[in-house]
């Protein structure tokens, strides 16, 4: 896959910037564009990859596509009249992000191929020191947009390292390996797997799909846009806006089914069961793919071709747990060995422990991972964290969604951060950090709201819930509410330091 904004070897990093942004996906790119537009031009965006795109750069598996409608899955400030279908395939989203980056004029402040190693708050100087594999940058403000679903999680299956065939994760697809005519296993039946399975099934001699938990899969209302619609998107700006608004509010209507009463999702249950019946005729297989928890407890998936793919003669659904992997195959707990040439691991990502947290050291010399060890991930408004001044996380704790577009949440957080920077400038503030009591109250309210959601009560184990049993990933209200709560930077919830306090601190430490 080629990229238009690739830098083979990054230009030297500036030693000092006002704002450092980590990550060049939707979050980092959107932040850069809005910083620039609002006159905060002194920023640097670093990304370990070779282009913008984040998850849409990294997930190149066959069949990768978005399960949020195209019109809603773009920046509000950069509409794309060129979407070809109602649900966009990954290459179109990646191309959209690359084009938006090129057209925005901010790419001169992006450095690709740069891995952030550590971010340390220097209390005396009131600055972040950011070490990377290409040198150190000192910044007043750090904004992380490093993604909630970016670090692949490999399963801890005995013997996986001994397998002599090809093994790769869904988010690190090996395009050099030809699956044609091979015996292949796919482990996992989540959002990635159900897109991979129908595509891989077309190429391989035999496919085993290892299912630990049957997911809910609704029909996918995907279709190519008609010529007239595409003309409308391109030449009648209001048409595309109205389309997007209609989809947005339609999606908001799903919220009560998740957070108030799962019985409201009864029509979705009906549609999903019909999806099984339409795709599979064998009663045993139908039974095996029928979920045993409430719809919504795990992410609701959408596909028209997953069940028909499983029903094919050369595809087997394996529901016995995996006991071990040998050099040549997979052994299930009933003692059966299935020999394979390749294993696709579609087992998800680190979600409730952010890998970047171990590398961020705050005011008291504590890492973010330490700060979250006992409580699980917590933040104020999903964005700022007590003990970590001038740090803003996009897609931070409890900002995830099961029903609508993360781009909407990202833009809400960007607006909040811009409001913070504006107020810091107006009042000549050197640092801002949420008051612990404000953060605690925010999280108590969230966890209270979580109690009755289907994510907590629906009878499943999901990546939404952390090891303390707390849902630290999802937002339990409407996205509209999130946007209104983050519309203005609420300084009274923050401990702030002005220039005088900072100078006093510096002198005190020097004495």
Are 22 and 357 contacting, i.e. CB atoms less than 8 angstroms apart?
no
- To ligand NAP, the closest distance from the beta carbon of 248 in angstroms equals 17
- To ligand NAP, the closest distance from the beta carbon of 487 in angstroms equals 26
Using the contact rule CB under 6 A, the part of the chain among 28-36, 208-216, 331-339, 408-416 near ligand NAP is 208-216
State the burial class of residue 31 (Cβ atoms within 10 Å of its Cβ: 0-12, 13-18, 19+).
Answer: buried
* Residue 217 engages ligand NAP in binding (rule: CB under 6 A): no
User: How far is 30 from 145, CA to CA, in rounded Å?
Assistant: 10
Whichever of 170 and 431 has its CB closer to ligand NAP, that residue is 170
* Closest listed residue to residue 205, CA positions, set 338, 15, 76: 338
- To ligand NAP, the closest distance from the beta carbon of 430 in angstroms equals 37
Whichever of 195 and 431 has its CB closer to ligand NAP, that residue is 195
What spatial distance separates the first Cα and last Cα of the chain, rounded to whole Å? 57
* Residue 196 engages ligand NAP in binding (rule: CB under 6 A): no
Region of 27 (left: φ > 0; alpha: ψ -120 to 50; beta: rest) is alpha
In this chain, which residue has its C-beta nearest to ligand NAP? 190
Task: Find the length of the chain.
Answer: 511
* Token couple for 498: 């002005």
* Residue 346 engages ligand NAP in binding (rule: CB under 6 A): yes
* Residue 66 engages ligand NAP in binding (rule: CB under 6 A): yes
Whichever of 389 and 397 has its CB closer to ligand NAP, that residue is 397
User: How far is 75 from 407, CA to CA, in rounded Å?
Assistant: 7
Greatest Cα pair distance in the chain = 80
* Residue 362 engages ligand NAP in binding (rule: CB under 6 A): no
CA of 359: how far to CAs of 16, 139, 234, 355, in Å?
20, 16, 45, 8
- Binding residue for ligand NAP, selected from 212, 230, 338, 366, defined by CB under 6 A: 212
- To ligand NAP, the closest distance from the beta carbon of 472 in angstroms equals 15
CA of 332: how far to CAs of 3, 212, 320, 417, in Å?
41, 11, 6, 50
Are 40 and 19 contacting, i.e. CB atoms less than 8 angstroms apart?
yes
Using the contact rule CB under 6 A, the part of the chain among 62-70, 238-246, 333-341, 487-495 near ligand NAP is 62-70
- Binding residue for ligand NAP, selected from 170, 240, 390, 502, defined by CB under 6 A: 170
Whichever of 31 and 192 has its CB closer to ligand NAP, that residue is 192
Using the contact rule CB under 6 A, the part of the chain among 116-124, 188-196, 391-399, 497-505 near ligand NAP is 188-196
- To ligand NAP, the closest distance from the beta carbon of 340 in angstroms equals 15
CA of 244: how far to CAs of 91, 142, 154, 272, 294, in Å?
21, 32, 37, 25, 29
Using the contact rule CB under 6 A, the part of the chain among 28-36, 42-50, 60-68, 356-364 near ligand NAP is 60-68
- Binding residue for ligand NAP, selected from 5, 42, 62, 67, defined by CB under 6 A: 67
Q: Is 209 helix (H, G, I), strand (E, B) or coil?
A: strand
* Residue 258 engages ligand NAP in binding (rule: CB under 6 A): no
- Binding residue for ligand NAP, selected from 19, 31, 88, 193, defined by CB under 6 A: 193
- To ligand NAP, the closest distance from the beta carbon of 281 in angstroms equals 24
- To ligand NAP, the closest distance from the beta carbon of 56 in angstroms equals 10
User: How far is 433 from 119, CA to CA, in rounded Å?
Assistant: 16
* Residue 398 engages ligand NAP in binding (rule: CB under 6 A): no
* Residue 155 engages ligand NAP in binding (rule: CB under 6 A): yes
3-state secondary structure 345-389: ECCCECCCCCHHHHHEECCCCCEHHHHCCCCCCCCECCCEECCEC
Are 211 and 187 contacting, i.e. CB atoms less than 8 angstroms apart?
no
Whichever of 29 and 345 has its CB closer to ligand NAP, that residue is 345
* Residue 353 engages ligand NAP in binding (rule: CB under 6 A): no
Total of residues contacting ligand NAP (CB under 6 A): 25
* Residue 167 engages ligand NAP in binding (rule: CB under 6 A): no
* Token couple for 259: 């957070």
- To ligand NAP, the closest distance from the beta carbon of 78 in angstroms equals 19
Q: Is 47 helix (H, G, I), strand (E, B) or coil?
A: strand
- Binding residues for ligand NAP, rule: CB under 6 A, are 65-67, 149, 155, 157, 170, 187-193, 195, 210, 212-213, 299, 322, 346-349, 463
């Amino acid at each position: 896959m080629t990229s238009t904004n690739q830098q083979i070897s990054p230009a030297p990093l500036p030693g000092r910037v006002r704002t450092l942004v980590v990550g060049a996906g939707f979050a980092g790119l959107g932040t850069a564009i809005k910083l620039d537009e609002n006159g905060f031009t002194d920023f640097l965006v670093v990304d370990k990859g070779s282009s913008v795109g984040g998850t849409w750069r990294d997930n190149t598996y066959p069949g990768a596509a978005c399960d949020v409608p195209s019109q809603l899955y773009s920046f509000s400030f950069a509409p794309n009249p060129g979407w070809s279908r109602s649900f966009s395939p990954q290459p179109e989203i990646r191309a959209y992000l690359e084009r938006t980056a090129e057209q925005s004029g901010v790419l001169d402040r992006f450095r690709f191929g740069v891995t952030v190693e550590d971010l340390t708050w220097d209390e005396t100087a009131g600055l972040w020191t950011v070490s990377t594999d290409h040198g150190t940058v000192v910044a007043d403000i750090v904004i992380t947009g490093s993604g909630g679903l970016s670090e692949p999680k490999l399963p801890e299956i005995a013997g996986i390292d001994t397998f002599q065939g090809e093994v790769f994760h869904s988010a690190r697809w090996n395009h050099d390996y030809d699956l044609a005519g091979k015996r292949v296993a796919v482990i996992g039946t989540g959002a990635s797997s159900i897109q991979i399975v129908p595509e891989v099934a077309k190429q391989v001699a035999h496919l085993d799909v290892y299912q630990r938990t049957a997911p809910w899969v609704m029909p996918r209302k995907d279709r190519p846009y008609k010529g007239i619609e595409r003309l409308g998107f391109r030449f009648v700006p209001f048409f595309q806006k109205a389309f997007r608004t209609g989809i947005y509010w339609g999606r908001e209507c799903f919220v009560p089914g998740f957070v108030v009463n799962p019985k409201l999702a009864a029509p979705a249950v009906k549609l999903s069961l019909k999806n099984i019946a339409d795709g599979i005729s064998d009663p045993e297989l139908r039974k095996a793919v029928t979920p045993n928890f409430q719809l919504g407890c795990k992410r609701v998936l959408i596909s028209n071709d997953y069940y028909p793919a499983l029903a094919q003669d050369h595809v087997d659904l394996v529901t016995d747990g995996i006991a071990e992997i040998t050099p040549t195959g997979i052994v299930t707990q009933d003692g059966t060995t299935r020999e394979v040439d390749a294993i696709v691991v579609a087992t998800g990502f680190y979600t409730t422990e952010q890998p970047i947290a171990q590398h961020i050291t705050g005011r008291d010399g504590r890492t973010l991972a330490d700060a979250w060890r006992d409580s699980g991930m917590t933040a104020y408004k999903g964005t700022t964290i007590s003990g970590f001044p001038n740090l803003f996380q996009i897609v931070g704790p409890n900002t995830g969604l099961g029903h609508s577009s993360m781009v909407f949440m990202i833009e809400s957080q960007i607006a909040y951060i811009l409001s913070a920077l504006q107020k810091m400038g107006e009042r000549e503030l050197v640092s801002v950090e949420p008051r612990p009591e404000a953060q605690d109250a925010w999280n108590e309210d969230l966890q209270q709201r979580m109690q009755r959601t289907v994510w907590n009560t629906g009878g499943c184990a999901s990546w939404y819930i952390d090891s303390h049993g707390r849902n630290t990933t999802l937002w339990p209200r409407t996205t509209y509410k999130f946007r209104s709560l983050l519309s203005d930077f609420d300084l009274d919830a923050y401990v702030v330091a002005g220039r005088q306090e900072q100078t006093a601190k510096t002198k005190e430490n020097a004495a």
